[in-house]
Amino acid sequence: MKRVGCYVRVSTENQLENYSIEEQIERLKAYCTAKDWAVYKFYTDGGYSGGNTNRPALQQLLVDIESKNLDIVVVYKLDRLSRSQKDTLTLIEDVFLANGIDFVSMSENFDTSTPFGRAMVGILSVFAQLEKDQITERFTMGRIGRARNGNFHGGPTPPTGYDYIDSKLVINEYEALQVKEVFRLFLEGQSINSIRKYMSSKYTNKYGNWASHTLVLNVLRNSVYIGKVKFSGQEYAGNHTPIIDINTFEATQKFLQSPEREDSKTIFQKNPFRANNLLTSLIYCKRCGARFCGNHGNYVCHSRGKTDSKMIKDPNCKNKKWPIGELDEFVQNEILKLAYNEEYFNEKVKGKALPVKSDKAILLNRVTEIDKQISRMMDLYQVGGIPLSEITDRIAKLKDEKDSLAEDLADKEDKRLTITKAKALLSNAEEVFTTGDIAKKRLYISSLVDYIEVDGEFLDIHFSF
């Protein structure tokens, strides 16, 4: 008796048609019974597009084919296997037939064991590709049209400050008050992290609270609050009521994009993680890779101090503790030496390449994948494919991971300075260290220093130029 692998797929748009998972399974069962074939396994991909082969059940099917567990692959309809002409032909010719596996599409009533069936596969895959392209084009044109007409296209996940009612953004008064508070605090000179802490202690919103610095930054950057909507990089006038006036928003963008985020009266931190000591967030342990933190008058490796379990890299690390005042003074003296000793400056920059501390591309790719997963879950929820409680838990976990990745990316931001810019900053060293408060000194040092490595008695300052 022939062993059959039945592949079943449904994407979100097809859940509204007659291709539900249950319907496909029932029809394939009956078909295999009539043919006197033994069903080895049903391979089910729920909520996955047919535009690519990156589907877990399909990948398992390919593994079982390689393991010689199957004789035939059966689908209800050809486009269940793939909507890509290239992928369809590759799977059938280079995988199925190459391994002696026949392919049968029940609805089209053909199989690859006959010459006519093989010819029909090529013809029908062309139409499957055409249909996919037409669906994509209609979908994209529809979203562009909505944006041009001023309609928000974010669906059931409106930005903080708005609710999504009858396909429109409607102001949520309580959250709008919070949004205004965030802009006010930022323009008064509060750091992103201090705003996050303040808002989390005082308010809640539809997404929980303000526990993520990313949420604060997204609010400050989002032009939806001045009545705009965006799609595919283009911005259009929206139909909704603005929460923030244009002058406030433009002033905020100016400070967000400023190299030092400061003017004569206020200090704006470039780094969203505000510290209580001069060098916190800049010092790393060369032995275990953990950060240093301020603790009882000393800079201490997190692995040694064990003040935060999430920051520990090696619980057995014994790297030296450095008195805060001593290390602060050393770094300031090095910067002053660079400012006043041209020969020393040239020695430092000669052949100097900024070390790469991480592969940002890997982190960015994961953030993109998380966004896709969240979007897919929201699509499934809209068509009733997954319970609200389950989707809420999944999205919460993904957002937590995304926030963590955003922090890593912020830490690893390339802060390389040109020689001209570095010299211009160094010319102000004595004034900053003599008259500046700790916030201004910290901002100034972080502009010049990428990171500092500590290895016992040895210090290695990696400058951003």
> Catalytic amino acids?
11
Residue among 361, 335, 327 at smallest CA distance from 459: 327
DSSP assignment of 277-289, as one string? SSSTTTEEETTT-
Which tokens in the block code for residue 426? 């160094």
Residue 353 near residue 132 (C-beta atoms within 8 A): no
291, with CB counted inside 10 A (0-12, 13-18, 19+), is: buried
Residue with tokens 């591309």: 361
How far apart, in whole angstroms, are the C-alpha atoms of residue 268 and residue 278?
A: 15
Residue with tokens 């660079």: 338
Which tokens in the block code for residue 451? 């990171």
Tell whether the torsion through CA atoms of 236, 242, 247 and 249 is positive or negative.
negative
Which tokens in the block code for residue 167? 């396909």
- CA 230, distance to chain mean position in Å, is 18
How far apart, in whole angstroms, are the C-alpha atoms of residue 273 and residue 446?
A: 12
Please give the torsion angle defined by the CA atoms of residues 104, 108, 112 and 113, in that order, rounded to the nearest 10 degrees: 80
How far apart, in whole angstroms, are the C-alpha atoms of residue 449 and residue 456?
A: 20
How far apart, in whole angstroms, are the C-alpha atoms of residue 11 and residue 356?
A: 41
What is the DSSP pairing of strand 292-295 with strand 298-301? antiparallel
138 phi/psi in degrees, rounded to 5: -65, -40
Partnered with residue 459 across adjacent β-strands are 454
Please give the torsion angle defined by the CA atoms of residues 35, 36, 37 and 42, in that order, rounded to the nearest 10 degrees: 80
Which tokens in the block code for residue 120? 């029909």
Terminal Cα distance for the chain, rounded: 71
